[in-house]
């Protein structure tokens, strides 16, 4: 589980990326990173282990210049905890690409061998995100013939990525002086949403793991990125999208609703808070039906995400709700 964000705007995006990562901090506390691209095509990156507030000082943000950029907070599920494995990852060919990824590849070892033996690409970390970036870069290179990149080339590239990469992945990438792209695996396992902010100078777009980032930054939800869909925001802030798989099927990770996501997020048109309320309701119905002689004394949640369900359970069963476990707020995820 990780948190990802990408913004293409009219003005500098460094502060919005920082604020957005703060709102996604619950998705990963081990490392954070931001990459931006300035008008001259220079990619600026700051990434390190630690919380967002500790990784980025004012001096770091001042150097992250540009009107488009991507960010990441890491909760390690593959690889090791080190600054080398913090995201975004970068490759200089073709064009200069940086990428952030939320998910897990199930065929990463096979892909790593293919990249070395067939594509002649070297993987320098144990992160499957670096593998995914190199697969994308190789496939884009096969589509490239000119200095610019057309939307159809991005879509064809991602179509080939879907054929090679198996598992769960929501991805945001940035191509220097070209634009920002995002794509979601054909099963839509990890959440991915797109938002828009209207201004007199034109539309600005945001891609993120959760909609909770939008309101604080002045964006409105446009829609979820569909399973197998690719979106591309070009250097003129024009939005392009296309389905890049033959058989998309929404099969989201249930744990997003149970644990990962913030309760004020909306994922695939489902309120996380209301989903947790319904979990408490269904549990209460099950207890009434299958344990008719059971007389619970109290309902105690395991902090923090079970509180919503526990309160609904206690309310329906008409029994006391009490806090029996106190979480240390400074230890991160448990």
For residue 146, what pLDDT is reported?
84
pLDDT tens-place string over residues 121-176? 999 999 999 999 999 999 999 998 788 999 999 999 999 999 999 999 999 999 99
Query: What's the pLDDT score for residue 334?
Result: 62
> Number of helices and strands (H, E) in the chain?
10, 15
Same-domain pairing of 226 and 318: no
Residue-range definition of the domain harbouring residue 9: 3-255
Backbone angles phi, psi at 184, to 5 degrees: -125, 140
Whether 268 maps to a domain, the answer reads no
Do 285 and 241 share a structural domain?
Answer: no
Instruction: Examine the domain organization and report whether 202 and 297 are in the same domain.
Output: no
Last residue of a domain, one of 220, 255, 290: 255
As a whole number, mean pLDDT of residues 268-284 equals: 98
Do 106 and 139 lie in one domain? The reply is yes
Q: How far is CA 123 from CA 32, 48, 134, 170, 197, in A?
A: 21, 19, 8, 20, 37
Q: Which letter does DSSP use for residue 252 in this model?
A: -
* Residue 334: partners with Cβ closer than 8 Å, 6 or more residues away: 327
Question: Residue 56 domain-assigned?
Answer: yes
| Domain membership flag for residue 263 | no
Local confidence band at 1 (pLDDT 50, 70, 90 cut-offs): confident
If pLDDT is split at 50, 70 and 90, which confidence band does 330 have? confident
| Catalytic-role residue among 2, 165, 244, 253 | 2
Active site residue 2: yes
Predicted confidence (pLDDT) per residue in 31-40, tens digit: 999 999 999 9
Taking the alpha carbons at both ends of the chain, their separation in whole angstroms is 13
Name the pTM for this structure: 0.94
Query: 4: closest CA among 24, 30, 31?
Result: 24
Collapsing DSSP to helix, strand or coil, 324 comes out as: coil
- Does 332 lie in the same domain as 203? no
Q: Is the pLDDT of residue 93 over 60?
A: yes
The CATH number given to whatever domain includes residue 327 is 3.40.50.2020
């Amino acid at each position: 589980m990780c948190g990802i964000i990408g913004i293409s705007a009219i003005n500098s995006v460094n502060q919005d990326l920082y604020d957005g990562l703060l709102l996604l901090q619950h998705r990963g506390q081990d490392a954070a990173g931001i990459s931006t691209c300035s008008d001259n095509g220079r990619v600026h990156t700051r990434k390190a282990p630690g919380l967002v507030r500790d990784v980025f000082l004012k001096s770091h943000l001042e150097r992250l210049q540009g009107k488009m950029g991507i960010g990441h907070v890491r909760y390690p599920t593959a690889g090791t905890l080190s600054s080398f494995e913090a995201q975004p990852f970068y490759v200089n060919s073709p064009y200069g690409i940086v990428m952030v990824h939320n998910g897990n590849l199930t065929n990463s070892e096979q892909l790593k061998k293919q990249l070395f033996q067939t594509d002649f690409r070297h993987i320098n970390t144990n992160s499957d995100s670096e593998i995914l970036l190199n697969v994308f870069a190789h496939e884009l290179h096969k589509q490239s013939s000119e200095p610019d990149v057309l939307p159809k080339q991005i879509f064809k590239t991602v179509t080939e990525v879907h054929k090679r990469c198996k598992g769960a992945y929501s991805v945001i990438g940035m191509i220097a002086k070209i634009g920002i792209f995002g794509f979601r695996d054909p099963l839509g396992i990890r959440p991915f949403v797109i938002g828009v902010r209207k201004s007199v100078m034109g539309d600005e777009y945001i891609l993120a793991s959760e909609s909770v980032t939008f309101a604080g930054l002045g964006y409105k939800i446009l829609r979820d990125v569909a399973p197998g869909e690719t979106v591309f925001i070009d250097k003129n802030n024009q939005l392009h999208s296309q389905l890049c798989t033959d058989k998309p099927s929404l099969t989201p990770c249930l744990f997003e609703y149970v644990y990962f996501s913030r309760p004020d997020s909306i994922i695939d048109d489902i309120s996380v808070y209301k989903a947790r309320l319904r979990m408490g309701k269904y549990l209460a119905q099950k207890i009434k039906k299958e344990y008719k002689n059971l007389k619970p004394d109290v309902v105690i949640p395991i902090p923090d995400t079970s509180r919503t369900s526990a309160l609904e359970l206690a309310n329906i069963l008409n029994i006391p709700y009490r806090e029996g476990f106190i979480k240390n707020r400074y230890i991160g995820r448990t």
